[in-house]
Structure 1
Amino acid sequence: MPLTLAAPVHSELIIRKSRFIGCVQPVTGRASAQKVVAELWAQHPGARHVCWALLAGGQSAAVDDGEPSGTAGRPMLDVLRHQDLEGVLATVVRYFGGVKLGAGGLVRAYTDAVAQALLQAQKVPIVRLETLRCAVPYALEGLLRRELEAAGASLLQVTHEHDVVLDFSLPEDAAGVLQARLAEAGQGRIVWLTPAEGLDQAG
């Protein structure tokens, strides 16, 4: 099962007078990753490089930011891949200390900065959510709300029309079980509808 991180974690290394400030954190995709990188530049205007690697499905990226090609972004991405992570951004801010490290030294430095941060990070399973929508007679609204609460579902929207229409989300692996329970409890009076656009939520 793919994992993500519960919260950002930092590390810091000093190697031959160069300072490497590493961070690993959960992100949703490339746009949010680029926002984090822009914020790092604002916080560290004196830095020489802000290298980063993003592991997020089709939006993955590895950026050397002026370091020799393949010495920063790619090694950082490899560290994330080996840990079976998804939706994670690794960044390393480098303050140059005046001593060149060589390609091998750079690869080790960027790899270690990310690996050390990950050692302290709390990894959590990625829970895929499914959004469902159903219509029930008013008499069954209370029953349905109790069943949703018991199943750990999140109520997204309730509309009172001819019937009560409820949109809710819950872990994918629990959706089928809940639908079977509701079919029995509602004695066929619960109608399943297509979820509303824009309500779909991935955890």
Structure 2
Amino acid sequence: MQEQESRTTAYTTLAAGTDFRHEIELKRSRFITVLRRTATEEAAKDLVSGLRREFHDARHHCSAFVLGPDRDVQRSNDDGEPSGTAGTPMLEALVKRETTPGVTDLSDVSAVVVRYFGGILLGAGGLVRAYSESVSAALERAPLVRRCRLRICESSVPHAAAGRLENDLRAAGFVMAETGYGAQDTILRLAIPDEPADIAAATDRVLSLTAGKATLRPGGTEWIDVPLP
């Protein structure tokens, strides 16, 4: 049976690029949190493997991740800490993170907390708080974006006119996808909410900006990163 496509059209995730790291210290134990945007379980496991090599002398490399637009893949690992004191609170910090007031939609994010034991036992409650706060503190500082499924519409314009049109469209608040290039024309690609009214409004704007010389051709949908307001 063919898997149904998700009905989710937007969620929040980490900005693409390098890992985000944050460290706290509690009773001489160091908790180094590393966040990475990951789209698959394999990528999440690669993060753990890489940090085991980098921090090879640390006692614990606890992990949690939530994946998919519907957040239907959720895993955690205590990595030697008492059961339920590390991975579970880390996962809860990801899943219950409010990205806007009342909205918990963070996904495609992996968190690993590397712990260097400082010689003072924290107890079960102390460990839960430490791992939860470590991930929460990192998320407070991490760069986030909206990941939106948008309709891609193309407009072909002469190379000489493309730069100005693109700037005008960006200034008007349109999200631009990756530009394409032909022999004679530049192919500007707009990422637009998949609603007839939004597509019609974008078409009218392109017609207006080009004095009727260019229009939009609706294509398929793609997941696009959109900066948070």
Q: TM-score if structure 1 supplies the norm length? A: 0.71
Could you tell me which residue of structure 2 aligns to residue 151 of structure 1? Answer: 169
* One of 58, 81, 89 as aligned partner of 1:75: 89
Residue pair 2:153, 2:218 contacting (<8 A) in 1 also: yes
Q: 1:62: how far off? A: 1.8
* C-alpha separation in 2, matches of 1:166 and 1:187: 16
Q: Once the 2 structures are TM-superposed, how far is the Cα of residue 10 of structure 1 from its aligned partner? A: 0.9
Unaligned segments of structure 2, at least 5 residues: 1-9, 99-105, 171-175
Matched, 1:124 2:149: no
Residue 45 of structure 1 aligns with which residue? 56
Pairing partner for 2:135 from 114, 130, 151: 114
Cα-to-partner distance string for 1:3-49 (whole Å, 9 max, x where unaligned): 4445613112233x5x2323243413233332221121011112222
What corresponds to 2:206 in structure 1? Answer: 182
Runs of 4+ aligned structure 1 residues displaced above 6 Å come to: none
Q: Map of 1:1-203 to 2, 5 A cutoff?
A: 3-5=12-14, 8-15=20-27, 19-29=29-39, 30-56=41-67, 57-84=71-98, 85-97=106-118, 100-119=121-140, 121-128=141-148, 130=150, 132-134=152-154, 136=156, 146-152=164-170, 153-160=176-183, 164=185, 166=187, 168-170=189-191, 172=193, 176=199, 177-183=201-207, 185=210, 187=212, 190=215, 192=217, 194-195=219-220, 200=222, 202-203=224-225
Q: What is the letter of the counterpart of residue 91 of structure 2?
A: L
User: How big is the shift at 1:65?
Assistant: 1.9
The 1:76–1:191 alpha-carbon spacing in structure 2 relative to 1, beyond 3 Å, is closer
Q: Which amino acid aligns with 1:27?
A: R
Identity of aligned residues (%): 28
- Aligned AA (1:62): S
Rounded to whole Å, the distance in 2 between the matches of 1:72 and 1:11 is 16
| Residue 134 to residue 173, structure 1, CA distance change in 2 (3 Å) | closer
- Cα RMSD of the aligned pairs, angstroms, is 3.6
Figure out how many residues of one structure are paired with residues of the other and give that number: 193
Distance 1:117 1:144, change over 3 A: closer
How far the C-alpha of 1:104 sits from its partner, in A, is 2.1
The separation in 2 between residues aligned to 1:156 and 1:201, in whole angstroms, is 15
| Structure 1, unpaired ranges of 5+ | none
Contact persistence 1:132–1:167 (CA under 8 A): no
Normalized per residue, the structure richer in helix is: 1
1:62-121 Cα shifts (integer Å, max 9, x gaps): 2222323321111112122332333333221123355554432321221122233344x0
| Amino acid aligned to 1:149 | N
Deviation per residue, 1:158-201 (Å, 9 max, x gap): 2248xx47252446489634233225556486361535xxx945
Instruction: Name the aligned partner's letter for residue 219 of structure 2.
Output: T
